[in-house]
Amino acid sequence: MESIQSLVAQHAFASGLNSQHASLLCQSAALLHYPIGQTLFREGDEAKHFYLIHQGQVALETFVPGKGTVSIQSVSPGDALGWSWLFAPFCWHFSAVATAPSDIIAFDAATLRRQIDENAEFGREIFRRVADVLHSRLLATRHQLLDFYGIRD
């Protein structure tokens, strides 16, 4: 089994991190396994972790009145999951459920926030990387909306 440091270093989110920042990031990391159907977190709950998908697949879901639970996006190996841990009030805006057996690196959010507060350079690097995740998710949402309205990009 590979070390958590090795798994984090291989993930796209951590690509190019200097050794000091990689070490800080790994201090709160744990590799977790989620079988199909297991919930990582629920909409409205406190965002206690940040996730990197190592293997498997996770669906992002939300409850729509009159329709029930709707899957709105999927994340797979190489993807980062969750930014609600970084922004007050630190609550999830979606639910996440494993749709395949998944190995996921989880980081303790409180530890990461403390490290960000104590180390501005590390914080800037994490915020930049989370901004990249936000950007890619917004683009995916844009494409979904264009498809929904039948508009060609």
pLDDT at 46 (0 to 100): 98
What is the C-alpha to C-alpha distance for residues 153 and 136, in angstroms, rounded to an integer?
16
99-115 b/e (C-beta count within 10 Å ≥ 16 → b) = beebebbbbbbeebbeb
Q: pLDDT-based confidence at 44, cuts 50/70/90?
A: very high
Q: 105-149, pLDDT tens digit by residue? A: 999 999 999 999 999 999 999 999 999 988 887 888 888 778 878
Domains of the chain (ranges; CATH) run 4-148 (2.60.120.10)
What is the C-alpha to C-alpha distance for residues 14 and 123, in angstroms, rounded to an integer?
13
Angle at Cα 48 formed by Cα 135 and Cα 13, nearest 5°? 35
